[in-house]
Structure 1
Amino acid sequence: MTHHFAARLGPKDGFEPRVPADAGRLYVAELDSLLRSGHGRTAGRVEAVLRSHGRNASVRSRDLLRLAVAVYCADLMTPRRQSYDRWTRHIRLYLALEEPDPWQAEGEALTRLLRFLTGDHWELDIRPGDPEPWPASPEDDDSRGFDTVCLFSGGLDSFVGALDLLSREQRAVLVGHYARGSGATSVSQAAVGEIVQDRYGSAHAPLLRYFVSPPRQPGRDRENTTRGRSLMFLALGVATAEAFGARRLVVAENGLISLNVPLTSTRLGSLSTRTTHPHFIDMFRGLLRAVGLEVELELPYRFKTKGEMLRECSEPDLLMEGLPSTISCAHPEAMRFAGAPNTHCGYCLACMIRRAAVEAAGLKDPTRYVYPDPSSLSGKSAVDLKVLRLALARYAKKPPRMADLLRAGPLPGTDDERMQLLGVYRRGIDELRAFLASQGL
Structure 2
Amino acid sequence: MSQFTCTVHGVRKGLPLRKAIFDFGADPVWTLHGPFGPRELSARGRDLIDLAGAIYRIESQIRRRPTDPAVRWELDIPVRDPDFWTSTGGPLLASCLGFLNRARWIPTFYARSDAVEFIHPEPDERKVDQITLFSGGMDSLSGAGSHAGARDPIQLVSFYHGQARLQSELAAELGYHLPTQWRLTGRRGREGMNLIRSFMFLSLGAAVAESYGARRIVQYENGVLGTAVPQSGNFITTRHAHPETHRRIVKLFDAVFGGSFTILNPFLPLTKREVGETLVAALGAARAEKLFRRTETCWYLFQPKVGGLVKANGQPCGVCTPCIVRRTARPMEAAAGAWPDWPGYAFDLTDPRYGEHPVVGITFRGYLELIDIALSAPNDTALIDDLAPEARALIDEVDGPDEALVAGVLRRFAGEFCNTFGISHGSNNGNKQRKARTK
TM-score interval (norm. to shorter): 0.7 to 0.9
Residue number in structure 1 paired with 2:409: 424
8 Å contact 1:279–1:412 — kept in the other structure?
no
State the shift of 1:94 in Å.
0.9
Amino acid at match of 1:301: F
Residue number in structure 2 paired with 1:29: 23
Mapped partners of 1:34, 1:412: distance in 2 = 41
What are the Cα deviations for residues 325-378 of structure 1, in whole angstroms up to 9, with x where unaligned?
Answer: 211222212256745222212232321211212259xxx975632234522424
User: Gaps (5+ residues) in structure 1?
Assistant: 1-10, 37-44, 180-185
State the shift of 1:438 in Å.
6.8
Secondary structure of the structure 1 residue equivalent to 2:156 = strand
Q: Relative to 1, partners in 2 of residues 1:198 and 1:349: Cα closer, same or farther, differing over 3 Å? A: closer
State the shift of 1:79 in Å.
0.9
Residue number in structure 2 paired with 1:100: 82
- Do structure 1's residue 319 and structure 2's residue 288 form an aligned pair? yes
Which shifted more, 424-433 or 319-328? 424-433
Residue number in structure 2 paired with 1:41: none
- Do structure 1's residue 228 and structure 2's residue 196 form an aligned pair? yes
Residue number in structure 2 paired with 1:60: 44
State the shift of 1:57 in Å.
3.5
Amino acid at match of 2:368: R
Amino acid at match of 1:428: F
8 Å contact 2:374–2:410 — kept in the other structure?
no
8 Å contact 1:50–1:56 — kept in the other structure?
no
Secondary structure of the structure 1 residue equivalent to 2:220 = coil
Return the match for 2:110 from 119, 127, 136: 127
What are the Cα deviations for residues 143-171 of structure 1, in whole angstroms up to 9, with x where unaligned?
Answer: 51222211111211011111123x52222
State the shift of 1:76 in Å.
1.0
Mapped partners of 1:18, 1:411: distance in 2 = 32
Residue number in structure 1 paired with 2:179: 207
Q: Aligned-residue CA RMSD in angstroms?
A: 3.5
Return the match for 2:297 from 315, 322, 328: 328
Residue number in structure 1 paired with 2:228: 260
What are the Cα deviations for residues 225-278 of structure 1, in whole angstroms up to 9, with x where unaligned?
Answer: 1222221111111111112333221101011101121222222xx2x4221112
Residue number in structure 2 paired with 1:286: 251
Residue number in structure 2 paired with 1:150: 132
TM-score, normalised with respect to structure 1: 0.78
The structure where strand makes up a greater share of residues is: 2
Amino acid at match of 1:170: R
Residue number in structure 1 paired with 2:318: 346
The structure where helix makes up a greater share of residues is: 1
Amino acid at match of 1:33: D
Amino acid at match of 2:291: G
8 Å contact 1:332–1:341 — kept in the other structure?
yes
8 Å contact 2:132–2:205 — kept in the other structure?
yes
Amino acid at match of 1:356: T
Q: Relative to 1, partners in 2 of residues 1:32 and 1:229: Cα closer, same or farther, differing over 3 Å? A: farther
8 Å contact 1:31–1:70 — kept in the other structure?
no
8 Å contact 1:151–1:176 — kept in the other structure?
yes
Amino acid at match of 2:63: P
8 Å contact 1:259–1:405 — kept in the other structure?
no
State the shift of 1:139 in Å.
5.0
Residue number in structure 2 paired with 1:249: 217
Q: Relative to 1, partners in 2 of residues 1:14 and 1:354: Cα closer, same or farther, differing over 3 Å? A: closer
User: Gaps (5+ residues) in structure 2?
Assistant: 9-15, 425-437
Q: Relative to 1, partners in 2 of residues 1:243 and 1:234: Cα closer, same or farther, differing over 3 Å? A: same
Residue number in structure 1 paired with 2:365: 386
Amino acid at match of 1:163: G
Q: Relative to 1, partners in 2 of residues 1:75 and 1:214: Cα closer, same or farther, differing over 3 Å? A: farther
Q: Relative to 1, partners in 2 of residues 1:104 and 1:389: Cα closer, same or farther, differing over 3 Å? A: same
Residue number in structure 2 paired with 1:3: none
Amino acid at match of 1:239: A
Mapped partners of 1:15, 1:325: distance in 2 = 37
Mapped partners of 2:329, 2:6: distance in 1 = 49
What are the Cα deviations for residues 378-397 of structure 1, in whole angstroms up to 9, with x where unaligned?
Answer: 42222222222233234333
Amino acid at match of 2:29: L
State the shift of 1:413 in Å.
5.7
Amino acid at match of 1:91: W
Residue number in structure 2 paired with 1:6: none
Amino acid at match of 1:425: L
Aligned residues: 395
Residue number in structure 2 paired with 1:305: 271
Mapped partners of 2:291, 2:146: distance in 1 = 14
Which shifted more, 336-345 or 304-313? 336-345
8 Å contact 1:56–1:137 — kept in the other structure?
no
Amino acid at match of 2:270: K
Return the match for 1:193 from 168, 184, 189: 168
Residue number in structure 1 paired with 2:101: 118
Q: Relative to 1, partners in 2 of residues 1:31 and 1:54: Cα closer, same or farther, differing over 3 Å? A: farther
8 Å contact 2:7–2:75 — kept in the other structure?
no
Return the match for 2:206 from 209, 213, 238: 238
Residue number in structure 2 paired with 1:437: 422
Which shifted more, 288-297 or 152-161? 288-297
TM-score, normalised with respect to structure 2: 0.78
Residue number in structure 2 paired with 1:161: 143
